[in-house]
Each structure stands twice: as structure tokens, then as C-alpha cells.
A and B are shown apart, each in its own frame.
Chain A
């Protein structure tokens, strides 16, 4: 097999880990990836940069808010140094940018497998209720508040307890109008309007990591039940399951969206009615993606094949009963790593190791 060089973003794994490291570990599974794995880091202290053996090279890249041209220029430079075949962006905030850059990166020989801009916008938090209604997909009662003057009426309609959710990130559970007002202001200042008020259901949380093709056909799906959550609501223990209802719902959602590429479906099961309701669609791999590989569905490798235009078949059903436990550990590294990234913006592990050896 020809060796393929893959660049991956999202290397920071702290209390809200980015998916990049799980993607890279999947590429290395079961044997070390034959080509080069290139880490694209936003910060010198993105933790994954220091996880020995995961990466062959790391390059610093500008933050998405620096604009498409700056990022393109940097990616073309990286391509001239190490040659990139495929990029897997793993962060929400990068997606629109990479969609814009896709044709120009393709000209440079760099492939990706992404949903279209229109499709991504249809699953945005502010559009999700409309999308669910249109396709008969159950979702918790949600009111979109564009004007603070409508807040009281929205609270009455949703009822307590409820979640106040920012348009991009963050959600806070509230029991009183004072709490709602306070969180509304906090999220408005941070992420802007609109703000979403969503009913808080008494239920259990499930996730499904899926990959769809250009027609929204499901090529792989790994459903999990979250068993433990951090105080930020992130799963740190979960188990893969086999559930036909969740599988059917996932198929229906991807097909309705015509979703191509990876995405994470966040789903809650109402404790009383047992109904599964869609909470959110994240347009990327989840941070727990290595669990899918452990359950015999290597979705990152599938995405590399799709990006390269290979014909792929839907993967066999994932194994249920496989558990992940997230474990924080301390990595130590020589000062040269920090120096190379700070001064030169790039780090070539093999050169360093051979110089030290």
C-alpha cells in the first residue's frame, strides 16, 4: 500500500479534549501508520504534541479567526516541507474555513472529506428545531431567543428546569429566572445572540459517532452510553452498545441531512417515555473516537479512504460492551520541543531523536 501522509488538527487534550489525538491513535491502530502523521497545532502547549510516538512532525498553524488566506499560506508551506495527502480537521470552528479552502487545497494535492457548507448550516443549533420538525425527528422543546424582551415568555413556554445554551458552545442548567437571566447575559457576551432555551429532560445521555457518504448513507456508526460525566458534561467513561432504535434514528438523520464525513449525534432518552430525542449534531469526530476503533469500526481510517476517493463499503456492526475510561497523565519532554515550536514553528521528532541518540 502506498504510504499516505495525514495532517490532523485538534491536539489539545485537557479537561475538554479535542478529537485529534483519538483520530491519530486510530490511524496507528493496529499497527503504526505507514505514512507520516503531521500534527497541526494552534498553541505551543497543545498537549498532544508531547505524546511521544503519535506524531512524526508538528507545525504551528494560525487560529481560524486569522482568516483563510493565512491558513492556506501556512498549509502550502507545510505541504512543501513534508507533503500532505489528507487533512482531517477535528474542531467545529475550523469546518467552514476548510470548506472554503477545499478547492484550493485540492489543487495542491491535499484531500479532505467534508459535508457541504449548506448541510453544516442546516444542523446549526439555531436551525436544528426547524430541521427536526421538517423530518419528524424528536428533539426537546427549544425556544430561540433573539431579543431579551422575549425571555420571560420563552421561560414560561419551556418550563423549569431548563438549559440556557450559547449559539456555539456551552450550556447551563437553570432552576430560577435569576439564574436564566444571569446565564443569558453571560452567553450573550461570550457568543452573541441568539440564545437557546431548551427543556431539561430527565433521561440518560447517548452519543453516536457516524460517518456518511455524499448521499448521507451511513457507512459506520458507533453508539455509546455515557456512564460518567465531568463537571463540564464531557464523558469520561462510556460503553459501546447495540441499539436498533438509535441506529435507525442515526440513519434517518444522516439521510435527511445528506451528511458526508464524520459527525457526532448527541441524543437523550427520556426516562419516562423511553423516546430518543436529538440534542445536537457536532460536525466532526467526537473526542472519544478511539473507542469506535476499539469496537472494530476504525472511522478515521474510513475517512482517509473517502478523502482519497476510494470506494468503501459500510462497515460491519461495531462490537458492543467495549468501554473507555479517560485517564489524565503527565507527559515530560525536553526543552528542545518547546524551543523548536516557539522559534521555528515546527518540530520534526525523528531529527531530534537522531540528534540526541
Chain B
């Protein structure tokens, strides 16, 4: 799971993301921001799932589905492999 981030990005404390290769910006919500930070730290899907279920009130199946959906969006935006 490490190094799946495709491009150089800057994410501010408020979750404002700048993609240096395209010039596009995004606003991440707190959950999205949390997951993105985990990705930047090179965490695995398993690690991130574990963190989500620990930090938020959500069961593992729902968390996995939401995580897959989020990764699909990040892929479409060209931010991850």
C-alpha cells in the first residue's frame, strides 16, 4: 500500500489539497482528510480500516465499502495508483 500516491500533493491542516502536477485543488472532509493522512504515512488498507473503526463509530463492512468508494474517487482524480 505504500507509495500509492501518484503525485506530489500538499494538504493543509484544514484538509485543503493541492495537486502540484495538475494545479487542481480539493477540499477533503474530516474523514477523507484522516484517510489521506494515513495514505501519506504509507499505511496499508488493513491499517487504515483498523484506524477508521477505532476512530469513528462504524462497522468494518461499512468502513471497507466506504474506503473502496473513496479510493475509487481518488483514483479518478489521478491522486493514487
Contacts and interface: CB of A to CB of B under 8 A. Distances in A.
Contacts of A238: 23
Contact of B21 (A224, A227, A242): A242
A225 to B, nearest CB: 3
Nearest to A239: B23
Nearest to B24: A225
Contacts of A240: 23
A28 to B, nearest CB: 27
Interface string B1-36: 000000010100000001011111000000000000
A227 B18 CA distance: 13
Given A242-B8, A321-B10, A225 B20 contact: no
Q: How large is the interface on B (under 10, 10 to 19, 20 to 34, 35 or more residues)?
A: under 10
Contacts of B24: 225
Interface in A201-254: 224-225, 227, 238-244
A238 B23 CA distance: 9
Nearest to B21: A243
Dominant secondary structure at the B interface: loop
Contacts of B18: 321
B20 to A, nearest CB: 4
Contact of B20 (A224, A227, A241): A241
B24 to A, nearest CB: 8
A79 interface: no
A73 B18 CA distance: 52
Nearest to B8: A242
Contacts of A227: 23
A320 interface: yes
A320 B20 CA distance: 6
A320 B7 CA distance: 13
Contacts of A224: 23
A243 B18 CA distance: 13
Contacts of B23: 224-225, 227, 238-241, 320
A97 to B, nearest CB: 36
25 contacts: A224-B23, A225-B22, A225-B23, A225-B24, A227-B23, A238-B23, A239-B23, A240-B23, A241-B20, A241-B21, A241-B22, A241-B23, A242-B8, A242-B20, A242-B21, A243-B20, A243-B21, A243-B22, A244-B21, A320-B8, A320-B20, A320-B23, A321-B10, A321-B18, A321-B20
Interface of A: 224-225, 227, 238-244, 320-321
